[in-house]
Structure 1
Amino acid sequence: MDTLINIDNGGTLTDICVWDGTGFTFTKTLTTPHDLSECLFSGIEKASAARYGTADIERLLHATQHIRYSTTQGTNALVERRGPMIGILTTLPGLDGAMRGSKAERELFDGLVGERVLEIDGDAGDEEIDFEVVQRVNRLATLGAARVVVAGRDPEQERRLRAVLLRRFPRHLLGSIPLIYSWDLAGDRNDARRVWSCVLNSFLHPTMERFLYGAERRLKSYKVANPLLVYRNDGASSRVAKSVALKTYSSGPRGGLEGTAALARQYGLAHTLMIDIGGTTTDVGVVSGDRVAADERGRIRGVPISYPMSDVHSKGVGGSSVIAVENGRITVGPRSVGAAPGPACFGFGGKQATITDVNLLLGVLDPDTYLDGTFRLDPERSRAVITETIADPLGIGLEEALVRMEQAYFEALSSAFAHLVTEDTTLAAFGGAGPMSATGAARPAGVKRVLVPRTAAVFSALGISFSDIGKTYEVCVPEPTTESVKATHDELLVRAGRDMFQEGYALAACETAWEVSVEDEDGTPVARTPYRPGDPAGHPGRRLSLRLTVTAPLPHPELAPDRETGTRPAPAAGTRSVRSAADRVDEVPVHVLTELAPGDGGAGPAIVEGPFFTARVLPGWTFRVTAAGDLLLHDTH
C-alpha cells in the first residue's frame, strides 16, 4: 500500500491527486455543499477510473496508505458565521477589552462572543470559587453559549478551575457544555491572543468534526484500515482525532505554497509569487528561494492567533466571483456564486455574471471541453445574464461588455499581488482559473515571467503530496533555568510519544527537532536556538518557550530539475475564434499540452489546453513547454 490520495476541497470544485510513487493521476469534481462526502467519494471514484480505466473505488482505497484531506469548510464557516455561540469564563480582568483592540477584532468578537464574557476571582477560597463557577457557567448557558472557553492567569489556575468544573458539570451529563482550557491549546503568554485562538477553535470545531468523522465512517464501510488524515496550515498532516480545528483554517493555500516551493527548487527561482485562483478567491503567497514565508504568530481574518501560519492573503476574486454594475462601474467580487448555483453557463439556475461566462462568450473556453469534456457549458445562459446585468445597465453592446468585464477582472486580480512584485519575480499560476487569467493579470503588475505547472488544475492537492505526518508543540518554560527547560523537555517528550503512538508511529522512528525560543514582552518569539537535553538555558532573565517538531516521513514525489531543450514551433490541434476587442475576432491556434513535447513553443495570441485547465497566451507573450511538461511564459513587451 504505497499509494497516497491527496484531496483539496474548494468552494466550487474539489481536486483529487493520486501519487503512486512513480507518477500522478488527478481529476476534479464539482463540490457538493449539501453533502461534502458526496464530492469526496465521487472524486475518488473518478480518480480510480482515470487510473484503472474503469471505476473501482474499492481497489484504489485498498491500495492506499493514507488519504490526506484539505478543506475550506472551516474558512467558509467563519465567513458565514456558521457555528456555535461561544462563552468565556475568565479570571483575567479586562480580557474582553484586550480582545477587542482593533476593528477586525471587535467585529469578530461581537459576532462570535458578544456579551457572553463572565469574570470570577481566581484567587478566591475553595467554597466561594466553587459557587461562582457554577453560577457563571449556568449564566453563560442561559445567554446561549454552546461552548465555553476557560481562561486563567496560568496553567495552575486553570487546573484549579478544571477540578471544580469536572465535579460540578461531569461530562457524562447531557447538559454538560464542551469546555476548552486556554493553556491546553496554546502555550502563549499573551492572554488575548491565546484566548482568541480558543474562541476560533471552538467555533470551527463542530463544522470540522461533523464532516470529517462522517467521511471517516463512510471510508470504514469500504473496510479501509488506515485513517483519514487532515492536512493542516503548518504543512503537516494528522489523523482526524488528533487534529486541532484551528489548524485546518487556510490549509489549502498552504498546499499550494508547498507545491510552489517545490517548483522553485525545480526551476531555481529566486522569488516566486503563488496565485491560486479558485472559484471564490485568489490566494497569494510568497516563496523566497524555496522557503515558504510564514508568520510566527498568524492572523485569521485580521485577528491574531498563537500559532505560526503561512503568510497567505486572499482576495475575493475567482472563477465564480460575481461581476456586476454598481454606480455605473463594473465591479468584481467579493461575492461568489460558488458551486451552487454556480456560473450561469453551468445551467444550475445562476443569474449573475462571472468570468467563466465571459471567457465562454469571448471564445476562450470551448463549451464542449470544460473539465476535460465531462461537463458541458451553456453559452445562451451566459449571454442572457451578461446582457441583463452588465450590457443593458451600462447602455452598451454585449461585445463591448465582454471586453470591459475581462479588463476589470484582470485589474482586480493584479491588485491582489502587484505590491509583492520584485524585479526577479516569477508568477506561479494555478487553480482552475489561474492559467486562463495569469498573463492578463501579470502585465499590469510588471511581472515578465509566468509558470503554469502541468498539474495547475489540482496544484494545491499536489502540494499536499509534500507533507508528512507530524506534530508541533510549543509550551512556556516556567523559569529561565537549565533545570526548568529540561523538565519541560521531559514532559513534552512523554506527550509526543503518546500522540505519535496514536498516529501509528513509535517516537523512536520519527524525526525530532527541538528549539528554545526567546520571547518579547508580548509573548512573541524573537530568536530561536537549537536545543539538546541538558543544554544550558543561556538566556538569564528572559522569557523562554520550548518548541518540539515531530515528523513521521511519508514518501514524497521528486521533481526533476529543469534542463535546456531544443525549441521548435508547437503543433496546433486547431483554431478557436476569440474576441480581442469589441469589433475584432481573431482565429487563435489551440495547442493541447499533453500532445506537446519539451521545447515546443509559440507566441500569443494562443490557447493551450491542459488537463482540466485552459491557458491564455495574450499578444506579446511567448510560451515554451519545459522538460517537465510545464508551461513557461514570457512577456516580450
Structure 2
Amino acid sequence: METLINIDNGGTLTDICVWDGTGFTFTKTLTTPHDLSECLFTGVEKASAALYGTPDIERLLHATQHIRYSTTQGTNALVERRGPMIGILTPLPDLGPAMRATAAQEELFESLVGDRLLTIDMDADNETIDFEVVQQVNRLATLGAARVVVAGGDPEQERRLRTVLLRKFPRHLLGSIPVIYSWDLAGDRDDPRRVWSCVINSFLHPTMERFLYSAERRLKSYKVLNPLLVYRNDGASSRVAKSVALKTYSSGPRGGLEGTAALARAYGLAHTLMIDIGGTTTDVGVVAGDRVTADERGTIKGVPVSYPMSDVHSKGVGGSSVIAVEDGRITVGPASVGAAPGPACFGFGGKQATITDVNLLLGVLDPDTYLDGTFRLDAERSRAVVTDTIATPLGIGLEEALVRMEQAYFEALSSSFAHLVTEDTTLAAFGGAGPMSATGAARPAGVRQVLIPRTAAVFSAFGIAFSDVGKTYEVGAPKPTTEAARQTYDELLVRAERDMFQEGYALADCETAWELSVEEEDGTPVSRSPYRPGDPVDHPGREISLRLTVTAPLPHPEVTPEEETGTRPAPVAATRSVRSAADRVDEVPVHVLTELGPGDTAVGPAIVEGPFFTARVLPGWTFRVTSAGDLLLHDTL
C-alpha cells in the first residue's frame, strides 16, 4: 500500500490530494462545519471517483497506507475567538502581569482568560493548601472556566497540586472541567511562555478532539487498520492520540511552506513568500533558498509559546471574509462567513458580501465553472447583498462599489506580506483565492514575479506529501552535568521507543537526531549543538535540556525541475466580459491551463482557468507555462 491521502481542511473548502507513488489526483469539497468528518469522507469519495472512474471509497481507503490530515480549524477558532473559557490556578504571584507584558498578550489574555487567574500559597500547611485548592477551583468554575491550567513554578509543585485535585475532585466529578498541568505539556523553564502554551492548547483542544476522534470512528466502520495521522506545524505527522492540539495551529500553512520549498528547489528561487489565501485567512510564510524558516520558540498571535514553529502569520483576509462599510469606509475581515452560510453566491443564505461575490459580479468568475463545474454560483444573490451592504450605505452605484471593494481587498492582502518583500522575492500564491488575487496584491507590495503552482487549489495538501511520521521531544536535565544529561538521554530513549511503537514503527528503524541546548537561568539561549550519549557536559550556573527528533520516513514525491523551453502564444479557449472600472468592461481572453503546454505565454489582461482555480492576470503582467505545468508571471510595468 503506497497510496497516501493528504487532506487540508479549511474554513470554507476542504482539499484532498492523493499520491499513488507515481502521480497526484486531487479534488475539493465544501467544508461541513457541523460535522467535519462529513466533508472528509465526501472528499475521499470524490477522489476515488477521479481515480477509478466511479466512486469507491472502500477501495481507496484499503489501498491507502496513511491519511494525513491538517486543518485551519484551530487557527480560525483563535482568529474568531471560538473556544472554551480558560482558568489558571498557580502559586506564581507575578504570573498574571508576566503573561500580559505586551499589547498582543494583553488582548489574547483578556479574550481567553480574563479574570480567571487565581493564586494559591504553597508555603502554607497541608490542610490550608487542600482547603484553598478546593475553594479556588470552585471559584474558577463559578467564573465560567471550562478548562483549568495548573501552573506550578516547578514540576514538584504541580505534582503536589495534582495529588490534592485527584483526592478532592475525583475524575468522575471534575471530568466536566478538564485540567492540564503546564510541566506535562512543555519542559520550558520560562513560566509565562510555558503557561501560554497550555492556555492556547486548552483553547484549541475541544475543536480538534471532537472531529478527529469522530473521523477515526468512521474510518473503523470501513475496517481501515492504518491510523489517521495529524499533520503538525513542525512538518511531521503523528496519530491522533499522540498529537498535541497546539501543534495543529497553522499546520496547513506548514504544508504550504514545505510545498513552496520544493518549488524553490526546482526553480532555483532565492527568496520566496508563500501566500495561502483560504476562505477565512491568508497565511504568509518565508522560504529562504529552499529552507523553511522557523523560530526556535514560536509565536501565536504575537504570543510566545514553548515549541518551535514555522514562521507563519495569519491575517483574517480570505475568499469568505466579510467586506463591510464602517464609518464610511470599506473594511475587509477578519470576520468570515465560512462555508455556512458561505458567500451569498453559494445560495446558502449568506447576507454579507465577500470577494467571491465581487469577482463573480466583476466577471472574473464564471458561475457555471466554479470548482470545475461541480458548484453553480448565484449572481443575483451577490448583486442583492453588495447593493444592500456596500453600494447603498456609501451612496454609490453597484459598479463603483465592486471596483472599490476589489481595491480594498487587494490592499488588505498586500499589507499582510509587504513588510517581508526583498528585491529578489517571488510570490508563491495558492489556496482557493490565491491565483485570483496574486497579481493585484503583488504590485502594491513591490513584487514583480509570481508563481502559481498547477496544484494551487490544493497546494497545502500537496505539501503534506513531503512529511514523515515523527516526534520531537525537549526535556530539561535536572543538573548541567554529564551524568544528568545521560540520565535524561536514557529517559527520552525509553519514551521515544514507546511512542514510536504506538505509531507502528520500531525506534531502531527510525532516524534520530539529538541536540543539547544550553540556557541562562532566566531562559536566555546560549548555545545548541549535536549531542551523543557520554559527551562531556559542564555548564555551571546554567540550565541544559536535550532535544530528540525521531523520524519514520514515508515516500516523498519529486518535483519536476525547471528546464529551458521555447515560447509560443498561449491558445485562447474563450473570452469573458470583465469589469475593470466603474464605467468600463473589457473582453478578456480565457486560457485553460490543462490545454496549455510548457512555453505557452500571454500578456494581461487575461484569465487562466486551472484545476479548481481561476487565475487573474492583470494588465502589465505576462505569464508563461513552465516545464512542470505551473504559471510563472512577471510584472512588466
Q: Name the TM tier (shorter chain).
A: over 0.9
1:30 matched residue in structure 2: 30
* Residue 344 of structure 1 pairs with residue 348 of structure 2: no
Q: Distance in 1 between matches of 2:579 and 2:175?
A: 64
| Equivalent in the alignment of 2:614 | 614
**Count of matched residue positions in the alignment of Structure 1 and Structure 2:** 637
Which residue identity lines up with residue 463 of structure 1 in the other structure?
A: G
Structure 2 counterpart of 1:266, which letter?
A
Aligned to 2:46: 46
Q: How does 1:276-287 map to 2 (within 5 A)?
A: 276-287=276-287
**Which residue is equivalent to 1:99?**
99
Deviation at 1:176, TM superposition (A): 7.0
Aligned to 1:114: 114
CA contact (8 A) 1:170 1:176 kept: no
Looking at structure 2, the residues matched to 426 and 551 of structure 1 have their Cα atoms a distance apart, in angstroms, of 31
The answer (yes or no) to whether the contact 2:427–2:449 under 8 Å persists in 1 is yes
Distance 1:284 1:524 in 2: 28
SS of corresponding position for 2:171: coil
Would the aligned equivalents of 2:182 and 2:195 in 1 still touch at CA under 8 Å?
yes
**Aligned AA for 1:95?**
L
Aligned partners of 1:174 and 1:327: how far apart in 2?
Answer: 47
Residue 541 (structure 1) shift: 3.1
Match of 1:365 in 2: 365
Which residue identity is paired with 1:238? Answer: S
Match runs of 1:372-411 below 5 Å = 372-411=372-411
| Distance across 2 between alignment mates of 1:357 and 1:233 | 32
**Deviation of the 1:484 alpha carbon:** 1.1
Structure 1 pair 111–244 and aligned structure 2 pair: CA distance change class (3 A): same
Higher mean displacement: 259-268 or 111-120: 111-120
* Alignment of structure 1 residues 598-613 onto 2, 5 Å: 598-613=598-613
Q: Which deviations, in whole Å up to 9, do the C-alpha atoms of 1:256-314 show, x marking residues without a partner?
A: 11111111111110000001111111111111011111112212222221111111112
Equivalent-residue separation in structure 2 for 1:24 and 1:559 (angstroms): 11
Instruction: Give 1:540 shift.
Output: 3.9
Name the residue aligned to 2:330: 330
Structure 2 matches for 1:261-340, cutoff 5 A? 261-340=261-340
Alpha-carbon distance, 1:478 to partner: 1.8
Partners in 2 of 1:459 and 1:256 — Cα distance?
6
Look up the match of 2:593.
593
Residue 16 of structure 1 aligns with which residue?
A: 16
Can you list the C-alpha shifts for 1:229-279, whole angstroms capped at 9, x where unaligned? 111111111101001111111111111111111111111100000011111
Query: Quick one: which amino acid aligns to residue 254 of structure 1?
Result: R
CA distance in 2, matches of 1:179, 1:392: 51
CA contact (8 A) 1:255 1:464 kept: yes
3-state SS, counterpart of residue 475 of structure 2: strand
* Structure 2 unaligned regions, length at least 5: none
1:228 maps to 228
Partner SS state of residue 269, structure 1: coil
1:450 matched to 2:415? The reply is no
Q: Which residue of 2 aligns with 1:507?
A: 507
Match of 2:528 in 1: 528
**TM-score for both structures, normalised by structure 1:** 0.96
Distance (Å, rounded) in 2 between the aligned partners of 1:175 and 1:444: 53
Q: For 1:491 and 1:124, how far apart are their aligned partners in 2?
A: 33
Q: 1:175 to 1:337 in 2, by over 3 A?
A: closer
**Higher mean C-alpha displacement, 91-100 vs 285-294:** 91-100
Seen in structure 2, the aligned counterparts of structure 1 residues 619 and 84 have a Cα distance that, compared at 3 Å, is closer
Q: 1:220 to 1:354 in 2, by over 3 A?
A: same
Q: Does 1:150 align with 2:150?
A: yes
1:165 has 2:165 as partner: yes
In 1, distance between residues paired with 2:198 and 2:399?
Answer: 52
CA offset digits 1:30-62 (Å, max 9, x no partner):
111111111111111111111111111111111
Q: Match of 1:565, SS?
A: coil
Conserved? CA contact 2:80–2:335, under 8 Å: no
Whole-angstrom distance in 2 between the partners of 1:512 and 1:104: 37
- Give the match's secondary structure for 1:372: coil
- Asked if the contact 1:122/1:152 (under 8 Å) is kept, the reply is no
| Residues 12 and 497 of structure 1: CA distance in aligned 2, closer, same or farther (over 3 Å) | same
Unaligned runs of 5+ in 1: none
Whole-angstrom distance in 2 between the partners of 1:138 and 1:386: 49
C-alpha distance in 2 between matches for 1:495 and 1:108: 34
Q: Distance in 2 between matches of 1:76 and 1:406?
A: 23
Quote the residue 1:86 is aligned against: 86
Counterpart residue identity of residue 506, structure 1: A
Please state whether the residue corresponding to 1:554 is helix, strand or coil: coil
Counterpart in the other structure of 1:214: 214
Letter in 1 for 2:566: G
Shift of 1:420: 0.8
